[in-house]
Amino acid sequence: MLQKVNVGRWSLDGYDGIAPGEILQELRELARGLSGARIVHVNATPYGGGVSELLRSSVPLLRDLGLSVDWKVMGGSQDFFSATKALHNALQGSPRSLTNAEQAAYVSCVNENAETLDGAYDFVVVHDPQPAGLLSAHGRGDARWVWRCHIDTSEPNPDAWSFLRPFLQGYDAAVFTMAEFVPPDFPVVRVETIAPAIDPLSPKNIDLDRGTASQILDWIGVDLPGRLVTQVSRFDPWKDPLGVIDAYRLVREEIGELQLALVGSMALDDPEGWEIYREVSEASEHDPLINLYTNLTGVGNVEVNAFQRLSEVVVQKSIREGFGLVVSESLWKGTPVVAGYAGGIPMQMPAGTGGRLVASTEECAGAMLELLGNAELAHELGASGQARVREHFLLPRLLRDELRLLTSLL
Ligand code: UDP
């Protein structure tokens, strides 16, 4: 069944002087026009991964702006989440589609959740494929329905796409991170592109002085002031953690004392995480300078903040990526990023901004060496990335774009 996530309220006033003023002004005006609108956001997990991160920050702000917003999370069995992870991978292009049993698990779980979607809403915003079937199971009622896709569905596995596609018929609008992600023969007429954003006031991104950040990492066991590079991401094959280790090992041939932190969270809707975690542990077990950290041992938002702040370089060696919030999170702290040329990452760090984009392990190692060997360049790239995030990838811009869309659907 759908479970409500309790998150309270949070004032937009705190963003004055941080986010661009004209965006804040337009956001407040749009919110006035939608005052009292009843909105429910539905996704598959209350923690772990970018979508929960976005909702955790968006919902309290929208409430403070006068909208009546709920956040609900799907319930499901292990079979359901295995099926939806297979669906997620297949939509990002993996050759394995869903078995008949997985398709049946999807349909029955979506039906069960739809029965518990009570309350009268003006807008139902459904995030990603896991709850996409809610509309057909529940019926539209008086609400406008929006499907918000956060992943790269530009070249979906055809079988998986023909399974999901009928569930999307009837949505009033769909939102993708990039126009390139819209899959072939897409059944929703109204399509918008809206990039995600980070919350500069969340514990993950709030300003943290270097002394406090060092104390946090020291406590966790990082050897400071030693040299450190980090990748922060779910243990997921698309994030290529094994490729990060390979690239790091090439860099270590030149910089013997360099430490690598792989910080990864386990998400409720991602059963594959454990398997990848095991593979990454095995690949690094005899190397004391490679360390794995997870939310299960208390490495949460503030700790991620400290890692992103004190790493000389943050790596995000994704092969497929929806957006990659971790890139903006790191750039916001002035830390340069070496990242895979995938999905929404180049939009955050276009040529010469924020760091280096790479397409192979060797390029990744080369870019890390370049930045680790030139502190001035690293600083300049970090600063240009921070300016770009301020202009384009802070939460008020995301909320403004979303409220523009909802206003136009009324
Ligand atoms: N994250 C975290 N702890 C971890 C790993 C990831 O808090 O150990 C957060 C990360 O900071 C970011 C989100 O999870 O806010 C991941 O979002 P992203 O868009 O990068 O990738 P996704 O997981 O959605 O594919």
User: Residue 295: what pLDDT?
Assistant: 87
User: Same domain for 400 and 387?
Assistant: no
User: Residue 238: what pLDDT?
Assistant: 93
CA of 238 to the centre of ligand 1 (A): 13
- Tell me which residue range forms the domain holding 80: 3-197+394-409
- Which residue has the CA at smallest separation from atom 7 of ligand 1? 301
User: Same domain for 128 and 246?
Assistant: no
User: Residue 48: what pLDDT?
Assistant: 84
User: Residue 175: what pLDDT?
Assistant: 98
User: Same domain for 71 and 135?
Assistant: yes
On whether residue 47 sits in a domain, the answer given is: yes
Q: Provide the number of structural domains found in the chain.
A: 2
User: Same domain for 86 and 226?
Assistant: no
CA of 308 to the centre of ligand 1 (A): 12
b/e 38-77 (16+ beta carbons within 10 angstroms → b): ebbbbbbbbbbbbbbbbbbbbbbbbbbbebbbbbbbbebe
User: Same domain for 253 and 191?
Assistant: no
User: Tell me, what CATH number does 148's domain have?
Assistant: 3.40.50.2000
Percent of the chain scoring above 70 in pLDDT: 100
Residues comprising the chain, all counted: 410
- Which residue has the CA at smallest separation from atom 14 of ligand 1? 49
**Cα distance between residue 313 and residue 282, in whole Å:** 24
Which residue positions in the chain have pLDDT lower than 50?
Answer: none
User: Same domain for 141 and 252?
Assistant: no
User: Residue 153: what pLDDT?
Assistant: 97
On whether residue 204 sits in a domain, the answer given is: no
Residue whose token pair is 């999905």: 343
Residues with CB under 6 A from ligand 1: 49-50, 53, 204, 232-234, 263-265, 295, 301, 304, 323-326, 329
